[in-house]
């Protein structure tokens, strides 16, 4: 493991022409202090965890003191926001310090989110607030624990500097790690500017760094689009299977690596509702839970259009046509696993749909219901009353049980519960849990709940008896929690 001054920066994105970014240093953060440190994320960049106890650690990860060989910059991009194209966006409050190569040979972007005004801030203050930083810090690690591709979070550094949102809040800087922060909008900006040579430059860079097996292929751009399409299809299926809503699926928030990132008004669905909207700023429900798969395709179509100077139109259509079958296959496999089935058979889709319809009618907690299915007794004379009693329409449940029991008999498995518990989490980042951590941090500088949740969410499938209350359905007051694009 390395000390701070030994981190191995390479900075490949900084080698691209200045058209792709703006070089600048972070804005100093007054009197920074460490809020939380994630040792698991530190391992990704070979950072010695004991470094977090250094007196100047917060200075380094607030942006006040730059590590050796960092080349700070903000990335340029555009994007479709709620369906409308915005010709220039870019990192309005984030600065990429550079990329660190770890001992495994992997390159990781190290980005400071909330590090001050950049050329892309659009009258913003360039800051993040403690509240939203805690939410992203916890959710990125929760998603990683669930096995869903995501950016990671190294630490949060706070300050008493005031930041104005719906109310006065305090500033924070989140250190975010990802293999890349290139997004769909990174290509869109040059397509709409008519700078097609820059599209090729960026595509060649991304392919060489992240898809090196395509470099020498004559159809590398089409194959690149296909890789992004397949990864996005799988990511959407993973979101749907775990009940996660991103909230702001703009093209500038879509990763070319199929990562979940740019966490804002996200939400894990509680009472099952296919029309669940987690973002208070999205009253029309463009990014509602049940819209995410088709928005994934819509966003890919925007990305494909940006690549159209490099790929024949018919080849683009061929690639995009592969999205829906890939998504449905991944989703069916995920839902089958949640029901303890090792493969997808002809009538399984109806089995999933019928269960979800009953869950919606009974307003059952999505996570807890699937977790409890691991206890389903498939014996012919079993009553499964604890499950049955949760449903309003008992006759419909009994009919479903008959189908489910018959299906389980087609592939009997004494280890079914263990397999189900390995894919149906016991713990998710419910909004009220995050809110409890935020309130303690804001009122008393008590960060213990952040660290407690970080540990809990790192192992969401494990039974943790001392944390049993964290799996409970939300209290009544949690209904008042609203998250928006400012979150």
DSSP for 302-316 reads HHHHHHTTTS-HHHH
Question: Considering only CA atoms, which of 120, 123, 73 is closest in space to residue 98?
Answer: 73
Distance CA 257, CA 330 (A): 17
Checking if the pLDDT of 28 tops 70, the result is: yes
Q: Spell out where 192-343 has E strands.
A: 244-245, 267-268
Q: Are 234 and 147 in contact (CB under 8 A)?
A: no
Catalytic residue among 252, 262, 282, 365: 252
Distance CA 259, CA 231 (A): 8
- The strand pairing partners of 209, in sequence order, are none
Q: Give the position of tokens 């979940």.
A: 260
Mean pLDDT of the residues in the chain: 96
pLDDT band of residue 267 (cuts 50, 70, 90) is: very high
Cα angle, residue 190 at apex, residues 189 and 194 outer, rounded to 5°: 125
pTM, whole model, 2 decimals?
Answer: 0.97
Checking if the pLDDT of 487 tops 70, the result is: no
pLDDT 10s digits, 56-73 = 999 999 999 998 899 999
Q: Which two tokens stand for residue 90?
A: 């870019």
Q: Is 253 exposed, middle or buried (0-12, 13-18, 19+ CB in 10 A)?
A: buried
Q: Are 335 and 352 in contact (CB under 8 A)?
A: yes
The number of helices, as runs of H, and strands, as runs of E, in the chain is: 16, 12
Distance CA 462, CA 421 (A): 8
Count of other CB atoms within 10 angstroms of residue 45: 25
pLDDT at 168 (0 to 100): 94
Distance CA 429, CA 242 (A): 11
Catalytic annotation on 290? no
pLDDT 10s digits, 200-221 = 999 999 999 999 999 999 999 9
């Amino acid at each position: 493991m390395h000390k701070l001054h030994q981190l191995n920066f390479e900075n490949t994105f900084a080698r691209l022409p200045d058209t792709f970014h703006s070089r600048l240093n972070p804005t100093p953060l007054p009197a920074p202090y460490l809020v939380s440190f994630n040792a698991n994320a530190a391992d990704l960049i070979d950072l010695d965890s004991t470094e977090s106890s250094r007196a100047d650690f917060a200075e380094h990860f607030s942006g006040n003191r730059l590590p050796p060989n960092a080349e700070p910059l903000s990335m340029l991009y555009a994007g479709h926001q709620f369906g409308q194209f915005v010709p220039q966006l870019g990192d309005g409050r984030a600065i990429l310090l550079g990329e660190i190569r770890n001992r495994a040979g992997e390159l990781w972007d190290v980005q400071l989110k909330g590090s001050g005004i950049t050329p892309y801030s659009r009258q913003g203050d360039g800051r993040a607030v403690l509240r939203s930083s805690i939410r992203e810090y916890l959710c990125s690690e929760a998603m990683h624990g669930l096995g869903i591709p995501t950016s990671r979070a190294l630490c949060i550094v706070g300050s008493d500097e005031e930041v104005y949102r719906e109310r006065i809040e305090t500033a924070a800087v989140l250190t975010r790690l990802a293999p890349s922060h290139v997004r769909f909008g990174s290509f869109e900006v040059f397509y709409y500017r008519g700078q097609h040579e820059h599209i090729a430059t960026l595509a060649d860079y991304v392919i060489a760094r992240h898809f090196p097996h395509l470099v020498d292929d004559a159809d590398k751009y089409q194959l690149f689009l296909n890789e992004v399409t397949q990864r996005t299809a799988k990511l959407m299926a993973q979101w749907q299977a775990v009940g996660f809503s991103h909230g702001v699926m703009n093209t500038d928030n879509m990763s070319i690596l199929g990562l979940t990132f740019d966490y804002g008004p996200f939400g894990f669905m509680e009472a099952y509702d296919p029309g669940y909207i987690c973002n208070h700023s999205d009253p029309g429900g463009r990014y509602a839970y049940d819209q995410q798969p088709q928005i994934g395709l819509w966003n890919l179509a925007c990305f494909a259009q940006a690549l159209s100077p490099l790929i024949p139109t018919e080849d683009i259509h061929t690639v995009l046509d592969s999205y829906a079958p890939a998504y449905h296959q991944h989703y069916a496999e995920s839902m089958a696993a949640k029901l303890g089935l090792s493969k997808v058979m002809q009538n399984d889709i109806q089995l999933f749909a019928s269960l979800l319809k009953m869950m919606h009618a009974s307003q059952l907690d999505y996570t807890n219901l699937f977790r409890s299915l691991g206890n389903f007794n498939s014996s012919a004379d079993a009553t499964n009353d604890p499950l049955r009693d949760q449903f309003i329409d008992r006759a419909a449940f009994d009919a479903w049980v008959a189908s489910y029991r018959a299906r389980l008999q087609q592939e009997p498995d004494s280890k079914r519960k263990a397999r189900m518990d390995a894919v149906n989490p016991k713990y998710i980042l419910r909004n009220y849990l995050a809110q409890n951590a935020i309130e303690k941090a804001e009122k008393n500088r008590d960060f213990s709940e952040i660290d407690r949740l970080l540990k809990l969410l790192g192992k969401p499938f494990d039974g943790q008896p001392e944390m049993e209350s964290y799996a409970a359905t939300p209290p009544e007051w949690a209904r008042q929690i609203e998250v928006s694009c400012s979150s």
